[in-house]
Structure formats: C-alpha cells, structure tokens
Amino acid sequence: MNRPDTLNVPEMDIDPFSTDFLAMPYPDHERMRQAGPWVWLKRYGILATCRHAQVKAVLSDHVNFISSAGVGLANFNQEAPFRPKSLILEADPPDHTRARTILARILSPKTVAQIREHFSAEAESLVDRLLARCRDGAVIDGVKDLAEVYPLKVFPDAVGLEPEGRHNLLLYGDMIFNAFGPRNELLQRAAEKVQPVTAWIMHHCQREQLRPGGFGDLIYQAADQGEISHQEAPMLVRSFLSAGVDTTVNGLGNALLCLAQHPDQMEKLHADPGLARSAFEESLRLESAVQTFFRTTPHEVALEGLVIPPNTKVLTFLAAANRDERQWPEPEKFDIQRRAAGHMAFGTGIHACVGQVVARLEGELILNAIARRVKRIELVGEPVRRLNNTLRAMSSMPMRWIPA
Ligand code: HEM
C-alpha cells in the first residue's frame, strides 16, 4: 500500500523484520524517533511510531486502534488468521472484557500471594544449584540453565500442567511471536517445527489435563459459572500458554545480560538485594522482551493533524518508546535505581499485560536470589541471539557467577 496523501509523514525504507534490524534494532529506532512522531514504513505500507507519547496514545485508544483485526502485521479483516483468534489479545470490547475479567481475577494480587512461596522456593533452589556448579569451576548458561528452566517450572506448575513435554511451550511461543511479523524465513522455520507442538498444546488445554485448582482449571470453573462457554475455555488456557512462558524467559535472560554487562549495577544489587524488583523493571525498559505490537484503524481516524484511513496497520515500537529521550533522562543508561514506571514493556490500556504480576514475581525472586549470593556475573563467551519477529530473545549466554 502506498502512503495515503492524508498521511504527510516521513517515508522510510527500514525493514523492522530483517535479520540485521532484529539483531540490533536500537540505531534504527533512533532514526525513526528522530524522523518524527510518526513514520511510514513503505516496505509494508504501515504507519509506525517509536516515540513514547505516541505509542502510549495508540495503546490507550482501543476505539480508534483495535486489536480484533490482529496485533501483528496481518489484517484479519482482509486475510484469515493463521490460528483461531485469541479471545483476549485479538479481541475488542465487549468480547475482550468478558475474557479479561476472568484472567484478571485468576491473576489477582491474592493469587500471586498464594503462589509466592512455591515460586520463591524454586528460585532459591535453582540459584543454589547453579552457584554450586560455578564454585566447582563450571561455566553455566544463563539462558539454557536459568532463564528457560525457571519459568518452565513455576508457571506451568501454577497453570496445572504435567511436567512432561514442557519444552513444547518454548517452540510454541517462538512461533506465536514470529507470526506477528511477515511471512519471512523466521516464521517459516518456526512454523515447520510447530505442527506436533500445536497438537500437544491444544491437548494440554483440555480440562482433564489440568490439575484441579490450578489457573487452567479456574478458567473451566468460570465456564461452569456461565461466564464463557466450555468451547471457549481451552482457548483461554491457550492464552496463558502462549503468552506466559517465552516472554518471561526472555525477560529474565535480558535482565541477566544487563547485569553481566554492567558490573557496577550488579554490585549495587548485591549490596541491596531489595533492589531486585526495580532492577528487573529497568531491564524490561532497556531490553524489552516484547519489542512491538500492531493495531488497526477500524474507520478513518483523525489524530495529531493526520487523517489515517480505515484498515491502516499501525506498528507501535514498545522497545523504542522505552528509550525515548523525551521520556527518560539518559535513556541508554542501565540504572537499577531509576524509576522505570511508565515503560511500555507490558503495553498499556485495556490490553496491558494481564500476567505482569506473575512476570514481576518471577523476575524479582530470581534476581533477589542471585543478588544475595553473587557479587559479579562474568560473561565467558558471546551471548547468542535467537532472532524473532517480536521478541528480543537469546538462545545461549555462557557465564560464570562469582560468589560473595
Ligand atoms: C516479561 C514478561 C512479559 C512481557 C514483557 C509481556 C508483555 C505483554 C504485552 C506488551 C502485552 C500487551 C499486548 C497488546 O497490547 O496487544 C501483553 C499482554 C498479555 N500478556 Fe503478557 N507479558 C509478559 C508475561 C506474561 C505472563 C507471565 C502472562 C501469563 C500469566 C502473560 C499473559 C498475557 C496476556 C493473556 C495478554 C493479553 C492481555 C489482553 O489482551 O488484555 N504475559 N503482555
């Protein structure tokens, strides 16, 4: 699609789904932020924004920027979704409200208080085991040994999944988040692996597979009460399984990398482990695990002097908003004592991450457990990125922990 005449914004030839861009997105974010509040990315015929104020404005306006036409590049008004649409992420009110009410209740602060003990015990014992290996002189992998292991243990436990086969959740997440981009090689490769994985996921969304009293079962209880149908219940369980693992895996991986690359900040964290929560928050701001989401205009939208035609895909760069100098002093600096509140890593508005309490709990507990035992994290090899159309991900990060 060519840039409509009513959209008098700079046109740019940046491909935000190319290998180079995904490997190092920040210089292009900066170019787009400098070019203006809005840019037109001509390769895909989409409107995009990298500035905090505009990202926030789009995500806060679910009437003019809808989710039911897909939160990726594809416009579901014009092409069929590759999988049945999510009842929550890819829905607008009133459908969205129905699903959101149930998930928000399940993930309330009260629930989090209940799971805290188990999540904490698992964090402590995992960090103890890894530190023992470091004391024996071994190199550990921050991704394979920690960032993947912990969320794959605690979150599916809370949902009520059996222990076997959980690695399928990583493959599924990789595919889902690639599918928000174009049909490029990354998506093709992820999709090739995913056929048996999808069958496993859908099987494990069935009530019989879920431990009574777990998050998954609570969704079925909501169906028993008539809040959603029994056909819809497995779809909402699927939302937990798609959104709740790969996101935190990469949130934790990115946090570890930030701390390894900034020994002064690791020192501060070690001196005051109470900073664990704000350290996790700051790493989410600086290296946002979820980099982008789209919206679609359902009708003509007038905004900031622009007239945006109906069915325009609008790309919000959450990660770029989080480094906008208009919002943050010294945005490139990793400062665990910064007040990072207001970052866009969990989105904002009615679709803001419903699982953020769980993600924050995981981040805080792991960083706190490390902070009390470790004074320095040393990288002993180049971290290997796992490119994904939406996630800032890693596949490996060899490191050594220097005990206190
Ligand atoms: C560091 C970890 C996480 C990050 C960075 C993250 C990021 C996000 C973002 C940016 C959105 C907004 C989507 C939009 O505006 O279209 C979102 C929504 C969502 N997240 Fe998370 N998330 C994380 C962890 C989790 C966890 C642990 C769960 C499950 C417990 C979860 C479940 C969801 C769901 C179901 C939605 C859809 C909410 C809605 O549409 O109303 N997320 N997440």
Tens-digit pLDDT profile for residues 110-145:
988 999 999 999 999 999 999 999 999 999 999 999
| Pairing of β 11-12 and β 313-317 | unpaired
Identify the CA nearest to 279 among candidates 259, 249, 260, 253: 259
Question: Burial letters for 87-110: b for 16+ Cβ neighbours within 10 Å, e otherwise?
Answer: bbbbbbeebbebbbebbeebbeee
Q: Which of 79-88, 186-195, 362-371 has the highest mean pLDDT?
A: 362-371
| Interatomic CA distance for residues 280 and 201, integer angstroms | 29
On the question of a cis peptide bond just before residue 196, with omega within 30 degrees of 0, the verdict is no
What pLDDT, on the 0 to 100 scale, is given for residue 402?
97
Residue 82 has pLDDT above 90, yes or no: no
Does residue 256 register a pLDDT over 90? yes
CA of 71 to the centre of ligand 1 (A): 12
Cα of 232 vs centre of ligand 1, distance in Å, is 19
The whole-number pLDDT of residue 228 equals 97
pLDDT of 195 higher than 90: no
Fold entry, domain 11-403: Cytochrome p450 (1.10.630)
How far, in Å, is the centroid of ligand 1 from the Cα of 315?
17
Kindly tell me if the per-residue pLDDT of 203 is higher than 90: yes
Kindly give the distance from the C-alpha atom of residue 402 to the centroid of ligand 1, in angstroms, as a whole number.
33
Q: Does ligand 1 come within 6 angstroms of the Cβ of 59?
A: yes
Whether the per-residue pLDDT at 193 is higher than 90: the answer is: no
| Ligand 1 within 6 A of CB of 69 | no
The model's confidence at residue 341, banded by pLDDT at 50, 70 and 90, is very high
**pLDDT tops 90 at residue 192:** no
DSSP 8-state secondary structure symbol assigned to residue 208? G
* 293 CB near ligand 1 (under 6 Å): yes
- From atom 21 of ligand 1, which residue's Cα is the shortest distance away? 353
Q: What is the mean pLDDT of residues 167-171?
A: 95
Query: What kind and span of H or E run contains 308?
Result: strand 306-308
Mean pLDDT score, 221-248: 97
Residues near 387 by beta carbon (within 8 Å), at least 6 away in sequence: 19, 22, 23, 186, 393
Question: What mean pLDDT do residues 167-178 have?
Answer: 95
Q: Is the pLDDT of residue 354 over 90?
A: yes
Query: What is the atom index within ligand 1 of the atom nearest the CA of 362?
Result: 27
Confidence of residue 191 (pLDDT cuts 50, 70, 90): confident
Q: Report whether pLDDT(214) > 90.
A: yes
Question: What local confidence, expressed as pLDDT, does residue 162 receive?
Answer: 96
Quick check: 194 pLDDT over 90?
A: no
| Strand residues in 312-403 grouped as ranges (E) | 313-317, 374-379, 384-387, 392-396, 398-403
346, exposed or middle or buried, with CB in 10 Å at 0-12, 13-18, 19+?
buried
Distance from Cα 13 to the centre of ligand 1, integer Å: 30
User: What pLDDT score does 190 carry?
Assistant: 87
Between 82 and 398, where is the model more confident? 398
Check pLDDT > 90 for residue 395.
yes
What is the identity of the amino acid at 291? Answer: Q
Farthest-apart Cα atoms in the chain, separation: 66
| Cα 346 to middle of ligand 1, angstroms | 6
Tens-place pLDDT, residues 360-381: 999 999 999 999 999 999 999 9
CB-ligand 1 contact for 70 (6 Å cutoff): no
Q: What average pLDDT does the chain have?
A: 97
Confidence band (pLDDT; 50, 70, 90) for 36?
very high
Q: Is pLDDT of 58 > 90? A: yes
- Burial (0-12, 13-18, 19+ Cβ within 10 Å), 393: buried
pTM over 0.85: yes
Q: Which atom of ligand 1 is nearest to the CA of 107?
A: 30
Q: Encode burial over 2-19: b for 16+ CB neighbours within 10 A, e otherwise.
A: ebeeebebeebebbbbee
